[in-house]
A and B are shown apart, each in its own frame.
Chain A
């Protein structure tokens, strides 16, 4: 009996082990069957490839490289927290050197050479305009552009989603705020702008915003390679504006502000978002920089609430980018990576390019995070971030300061 009992016991043990092995192998094979992959969309079992293009070594690298770093830092954080639906986000960053042909090469690469689920960046507005037909053909969604060309969002393109404050809103908020705070009925404004496509566009929006208030705007072009802004400041002296708007690269602001100080032109000025970096304020010094502001839909870490900026500051330090935490471009990259992560999450466990577009185009919203204003995409509007606020710099504390909440400036945007 004992033997028989032993034999029964052994048989039971055998059956239990065999059953466990069978169920394990079944479970393994079924989990393999469930693991979704779509290599042509850059989606693999354990990772999702996402493309980023930006000028990392060319003339706009000063602003676009921090943006790429901000994007990468946010994705590091996402990956450290376990990724999205079990997949790590692999950021493939391509340096396009502010060069239209390089931008095209990168886009085609992301479409088929090293396929990605989607891409972000594309900081050259002319290149972006040129790429619209190709984007429509190759169908890799561009989620969170660094600059938003008119041709990309007018008419609305289901494959392109803005990720930066628009020039139109920059002009509207800047003009509205300064006209209001200086109590001007018919403001006289001068716009110093680069003689490139985006500069001409910004000046056009300034014209519109100023004319709406019955004022006048004088256009003062400047070269991107200018080494001196004396001619521009002499033109400012002639125009006698109530306030000045500046479009350009960081050097443009430095040259204009220093020349304004040299010639005693003491009027308030505001710059486009891209020029909101601590280095501009520190380089020009308090005397020239105290009356200088920028308008932005992003909030530098030092002007944001500690809770909103905590993750950004910690991750920036961890990645060795601590000095960039107050750089508006770094913050912008961080916010756009958050948008991408959210969109991928909503696309579910089996994300594809098509599904991603569906999610974004059907109406997508990211509430104001403390680091940016509210982002809204509808099927008819893909600009995303519409509300901006003016931001200044406090030389005593070496911190940025905002002049209210984003909601306070919504009135200027239409």
Chain B
């Protein structure tokens, strides 16, 4: 005991002082809050800029606003929910799923049953979508207890077709061939009847879902999920109940996706079975690959790139076409093809040089610029 006490007193003062990374972290904290405040201000002001097509009264051209509109931003926010929830499942839990469009359809069906058929309030429909999504997620996750790899991927694909079939039967039986029409969403007397109102309703939901995913990943179950993803046997031998954890991950992810499906259905006012194609499911996979697998930020960035970049490219292609010259005809006559070509090439280049996605590349770059900084 004495020796211990002696050794403590003999310890140099520096040992009790914060380490260099800890000091850096502490110093970076106010800067971080400053960045957060700036980001919040931008997120609050952005919809007004897109709505008024002006900054502080100064009118901006369509191309100065990158050919982006408020409706696009709202649909991107909904897609962020889908991408983040898939990233939680695929990037963090290691469960590759191509059934995410099915969870969107489950949410739309739950909202149709509660909102359009039973006439329940909008918020009740959203809660119903969350519950239905979680239940569907547990069912979809059951095959993961027995099958792995490509076989599991196929089981999620089967789920997709089953749900889409159920959706079309439900649509044709209870609604019109053109789709299911949803009532005007409202929270009490506050009707969501403009793109601006929708933005301020969607933004907190997206932030909350991202925070929930982030919180989960930083705590016991999230870390256990990452352990299962990296080495299932090692995780199992250290006492993690892999089966329960997988079902929980599926339920959590699909509940968010289902919520996104309900929001999308209400936003579009009418949806039909055609909306929930395999293309939609694959687009979510593309989003998380582009953004970066295994991080919440990856889902957000991927959705932004996937939904907004084609529009930005379309805007610039239009400008080039209008400018005249040899390439103008190609940009005017074949603009969708040119945009797809550029977008596809950018994605291919990104995957070759930044396999960790945009977020992975940004982290590498940060480490290069500031070697001691936390990535």
Contacts and interface: CB of A to CB of B under 8 A. Distances in A.
Contact of A196 (B65, B181, B274, B337): B274
Interface residues of A, number: 38
A94 B335 CA distance: 9
B336 interface: yes
A396 to B, nearest CB: 34
A100 B172 contact: no
Given A95-B336, A149-B178, A108 B195 contact: yes
Interface of B: 53, 62, 65, 67, 69-72, 75, 168, 172, 176-179, 181, 195, 264, 268-275, 311, 314, 318, 333, 335-337, 339-340
A22 B263 CA distance: 64
10 contacts: A57-B337, A100-B275, A104-B268, A108-B71, A113-B62, A113-B65, A126-B271, A130-B269, A150-B178, A197-B274
Q: Which of A56, A57, A105, A198: most chain B Cβ within 10 A? A: A105
Interface string A32-74: 0000000000000000000000001100000000000100100
Contact of B270 (A113, A130, A198): A130
Nearest to A101: B75
A125 interface: yes
Interface of A: 56-57, 69, 72, 92-95, 98-101, 104-105, 108-109, 112-114, 124-126, 129-130, 133-134, 149-151, 195-198, 200-201, 204, 319-320
A236 to B, nearest CB: 23
A193 to B, nearest CB: 11
Contact of A93 (B264, B268, B335): B335
Q: Which of B62, B75, B272: most chain A Cβ within 10 A? A: B272
Contact of B72 (A105, A124, A204, A320): A105
A95 B69 CA distance: 15
A149 B181 CA distance: 14
A242 B76 CA distance: 51
B178 A151 contact: yes
A112 B70 CA distance: 10
Nearest to A56: B336
A68 to B, nearest CB: 9
Contacts of A93: 335
Contacts of A108: 69-71, 195
Q: Which of A109, A129, A130: most chain B Cβ within 10 A? A: A130
Contact of A130 (B72, B179, B311, B336): B179
Contacts of A204: 177
Nearest to B178: A129
A196 B273 contact: yes
A101 B268 contact: yes
A197 B179 CA distance: 7
B178 A125 contact: yes
Contacts of B71: 104-105, 108-109
A117 B71 CA distance: 20
Given A112-B69, A130-B179, A198-B177, 13 more contacts: A69-B333, A92-B318, A95-B314, A99-B275, A100-B274, A104-B268, A108-B195, A113-B53, A126-B272, A129-B176, A196-B273, A197-B274, A204-B177
Contacts of A95: 314, 335-336, 339
Contacts of B275: 99-101, 126
B131 to A, nearest CB: 25
Contacts of B69: 105, 108-109, 112-113
A100 B268 contact: yes
A195 B179 contact: no
A231 B318 CA distance: 46
A126 B274 contact: yes
B261 to A, nearest CB: 12
A123 B298 CA distance: 34
Contacts of B333: 69, 72, 319-320
A287 to B, nearest CB: 34
B373 to A, nearest CB: 38
A166 to B, nearest CB: 14
A125 B271 CA distance: 11
Q: Which of B53, B72, B195, B318: most chain A Cβ within 10 A? A: B72
Given A101-B264, A109-B69, A195 B168 contact: yes
Given A95-B336, A100-B271, A126 B179 contact: yes
A105 B340 CA distance: 18
A56 B340 CA distance: 11
Q: Which of B67, B268, B271: most chain A Cβ within 10 A? A: B268
A142 B306 CA distance: 29
Contacts of A126: 178-179, 270-272, 274-275
